[in-house]
Amino acid sequence: MKPSRRGFSSFRYALEGIVTSYKTQRHLRFHCVAAVIVIAAAIALSLPVRDIALLLLIIALVISLELVNTAIEAVVDLAAPEWHRLGKIAKDAAAGAVLVAAVFAIAIGVLIFYEPVMSWLGFR
């Protein structure tokens, strides 16, 4: 079965959304750099596959929420270029979702990396 052109277009548009967001959103770039560092550290410390999978999942969650936050901000700005209380609520809630995911990502990272880092430093 040959894939439809429409499917490729959808994929291309999704990639364009990611690339545009990466180019325009400082926080998304920060999360991507942090993700690369975390994965490199996980590999360097020979973490178990299960731990790396959990790290990949939480990284995907944070980056996905950052993309959704970007989309919500763009839609609010388009729909209401002037300040509006409801627009502020939408933007703040979307940013809050990213913050919650990022805080829990840090907590998960600390739990996963604590023992291997302490061993690497010679404290265990």
Distance CA 62, CA 52 (A): 15
**Residues 66/98, Cβ–Cβ less than 8 Å:** yes
Question: CA of 43: how far to CAs of 3, 31, 35, 51, 83, in Å?
Answer: 35, 18, 12, 10, 46
* 65 within 8 A of 97, measured Cβ to Cβ: yes
**Catalytic residue flag (residue 66):** yes
Q: Is 94 exposed, middle or buried (0-12, 13-18, 19+ CB in 10 A)?
A: buried
Catalytic residue among 16, 66, 73, 82: 66
Catalytic residues: 66
